[in-house]
Amino acid sequence: MKQLRLLAATVLLSVSFGVFAKPTHGSNKSSVKDLNQQALLVELTGKDLSKENDITLYAEMVSAYQNDDEIAFKSRLQSLLTRFPQSSYADNALFLAGRIAVDHNNFAEAIKYFAQVEKEYPRSNKVVAAKFAKAMTYKKMNLPEFALRALKEVRAKYPGSPESFRADAELKMIK
């Protein structure tokens, strides 16, 4: 039942979340509909997501990650990226999204999230971790040529980082 409520909340968030991000300027009929949708979200989730900040959303994402609750995690991720795209937690959230995708053997989605960290947050402290995680995901997908390329890039671009030492060890094992 809890999973069903979270799924319904996720669907409602994806369909009508833009309603909560900015005030509506329209007829009275549409504002009643918006209020009904917001009330339904509050009833389903127990929280008014329009009043949460990025810190709270990220904390809930970490909790959902630790509990392996993919539905709750993705709904919080979508909320965070939609409402707070410039949040200092956005890169960490995308990295965790990649990790949870790997944990659920959804490798293509994981690669997408790791690449998104690299592309959208090039100065982030998670870039090297995302590149290394992408290499390990390629290795799990049995794509050694892509894994080798990514590991060599980690070693060349980020010498001295913990990931570069791990990349060296992985390169020795692959050869």
Domains in the chain, CATH or no CATH each: 110-175 (1.25.40.10)
Question: What's the whole-number mean pLDDT along residues 162-167?
Answer: 95
- Would the pLDDT of 102 be above 60? yes
Q: Which two structure tokens, joined as six digits, stand for 6?
A: 């979270």
> Taking a C-beta distance cutoff of 8 angstroms, is the pair 16, 37 a contact?
yes
Measure the CA–CA gap between 110 and 97, rounded to whole angstroms: 7
- Would the pLDDT of 4 be above 60? no
Confidence class for position 31, pLDDT limits 50, 70, 90: low
Confidence class for position 37, pLDDT limits 50, 70, 90: low
Measure the CA–CA gap between 31 and 13, rounded to whole angstroms: 17
- Would the pLDDT of 30 be above 60? no
- Would the pLDDT of 27 be above 80? no
Confidence class for position 174, pLDDT limits 50, 70, 90: confident
Output the DSSP codes for 75-121: HHHHHHHHH-TT-TTHHHHHHHHHHHHHHTT-HHHHHHHHHHHHHH-
If one counts every other C-beta atom within 10 angstroms of the C-beta of residue 5, the result is 14
Q: In this predicted model, what pLDDT tens digit does every residue of 109-124 receive, in sequence order?
A: 999 999 999 999 999 9
- Would the pLDDT of 154 be above 90? yes
